[in-house]
Amino acid sequence: MKNLYIFIVVLFIPWSFSLAKYDEFEDGDDIMEYDDNDFAEFEDVSEDAVTESPQRIITTEDDEEEATVELEGQDENQEDFDDADTQEGDTESEPYDDEEFEGYEEKPDASHSKNKDPITIVNVPAHLQNSWESYYMEILMVTGLLAYIMNYIIGKNKNNRLAHAWFNTHRELLESNFALVGDDGTNKEATSTGKLNQENEHIYNLWCSGRVCCEGMLIQLKFLKRQDLLNVLARMMRPASDQVQIKVTMNDEDMDTYVFAVGTRKALVRLQKEMQDLSEFCSDKPKSGAKYGLPDSLAILSEMGEVTEGMMDAKMIHFLTHYADKIDSVQFSDQFSGPKLMQEEGQLTKLPETKKTLLFTFNVPGSGNTSPKDMESLLPLMSMVIYSIDKAKKFRLNREGKQKADKNRARVEENFLKLTHVQRQEAAQSRREEKKRAEKERIMNEEDPEKQRRLEEAALRREQKKLEKKQMKMKQIKVKAM
């Protein structure tokens, strides 16, 4: 808006300038040569004839290439000047006679009336004005682009620095616990690259493997999109923080069957809605962990009370209470299959594959304004992860718990099967029809007529048998019903 005002002011200045000049002409006080009018000397000077004013070229600036501004009634002023000049020239020696000016006075009246005609000033096209100010929108755009590029470079570097600070802090702990630290999947053999894998300007991955109990651990550093200016501006409205997501895939024999989660209430509510396993096995609302000495900010979602009892040992409680502000959610699940898949009913024919997983989501302190030093405060959380891996291996449900867990899983499977019963029936039906069709085709394609007859008879016999079986079943059902 400021630029708009400047622009308007800039336009006003030459316009008012030209207006002022016309005032001068009308007053006739300063009888000066109007320098800008190059054609003044060629003007036909006659008092009587009021010729049509030829086109005048007035340049608002000295540059000759400027566009024309057309004016009507401008000639009268020139004629006045010229009249005055000639009159001055003629009657230099004599005093002015009133008579001589009689006719002249009419002229000013006539010229006045003519001056009442509207003066149309055509706008000078901006690109001919030859001033940078008229291109202010373009300058704005380019400035915006430059700002975006600067922010991209700064944001990218900051994320990079944060990622490497995190890795340097955690490298020792990881290397002492895992044989393979860092693998980008390009080599067929498992070789440790010892480096973070950059997926994006704000996402860094690290795959660690080679430890007892677990198949592997994938660490994702999900930073804020500092490289995108739009995101930076959006974050000014809604603060968010960087996250570290750790997903440990356990070996099948190293974890018992249970589903358990602890974290901030908000995060748990969201996870319960989104995650397949939490929604199916943990039907209750998140419970407060105050019973175990956890701070109020944390809540617990569990499949059964025994799991909670087993998980909440002293060390775990210590970890959770001390680092409660950094913990977003912790999820141990043997039925982990990721978030609920939004699929159409017809596509769901099989339960999604499940893996025994431990999931950790940590918030980096600083709420967006993190510095590399903050990464050191996440080191104890990594120790918690390692401890949890060992604990998950050691923790076993007792007989009751195991029975309950098995019952739960059977129930979930049954529900799923019921839901998909119709689809499976349809699938089976279509499969049977396909088989029949294939057989018929085979029979048709058989060249030997004998073979054809034999195959047809075999098919007929099979169908008869099936019909008999069905009839027997129906009879049995009827008998039972009676």
| Closest alpha carbon to 401 in 313, 304, 336 | 304
Distance, in Å, from the CA atom of 340 to the CA atom of 342, rounded to the nearest integer, reads 6
| Residue 216 beta carbon to other proteins: minimum distance, rounded to whole angstroms | 6
Tokens representing 342 are: 């939004």
**Residue 63 or 468 with smaller CB distance to other proteins:** 63
Distance in Å, CB of 175 to other proteins, minimum? 7
Query: Which one, 359 or 405, has the nearer CB to other proteins?
Result: 359
How many residues appear in the chain? 482
Nearer to other proteins, 8 or 49 (CB): 8
- Strands (E) in 17-113, as ranges, are none
Q: Which is closer to other proteins, CB of 152 or CB of 323?
A: 152
384, 379, 377: which is closest to 358 by C-alpha? 384
Distances (CA, A) of 455 to 62, 229, 245, 437, 450: 106, 74, 62, 14, 9
Closest distance of CB 134 from other proteins, Å: 5
Instruction: Please check whether residue 236 is in contact with residue 200, taking contact to mean a CB–CB distance below 8 angstroms.
Output: no
Q: Quick one: which of 81, 66, 74 has its CA closest to 14?
A: 66
Shortest distance in whole angstroms from residue 164 CB to other proteins: 16
Nearer to other proteins, 198 or 452 (CB): 198
Residue 173 CB, nearest approach to other proteins (Å): 11
Look up residue 356 and give its amino acid: K
Q: How far is the CB of 327 from other proteins (least distance, A)?
A: 21
In the complex, minimum distance from the CB of residue 250 to other proteins, in angstroms, rounded to a whole number: 13
* Closer residue to other proteins (CB): 148 or 323: 148
CB-based contacts of 332, cutoff 8 Å, min separation 6: 255, 258, 259, 260, 261, 311, 357, 358, 359, 388, 392
Tell which residue, 250, 390, 263, has the closest CA to residue 333: 250
Contacts with other proteins by CB under 8 A lie at 4, 125-127, 134-138, 141, 144-145, 148-149, 152, 175-180, 183-185, 188-190, 192, 197-201, 205, 207, 209-212, 215-216, 218, 220, 225, 227-230, 338-339, 341-342
DSSP letters of 185-200?
Answer: S-SSS-----S-EE-S
* Alpha carbons 272 and 286: distance in angstroms, whole number: 9
**Cβ nearer to other proteins, comparing 61 with 201:** 201
Q: Least distance from C-beta 33 to other proteins, angstroms?
A: 35
- Compare residues 14 and 210 and give the one whose CB is closer to other proteins: 210
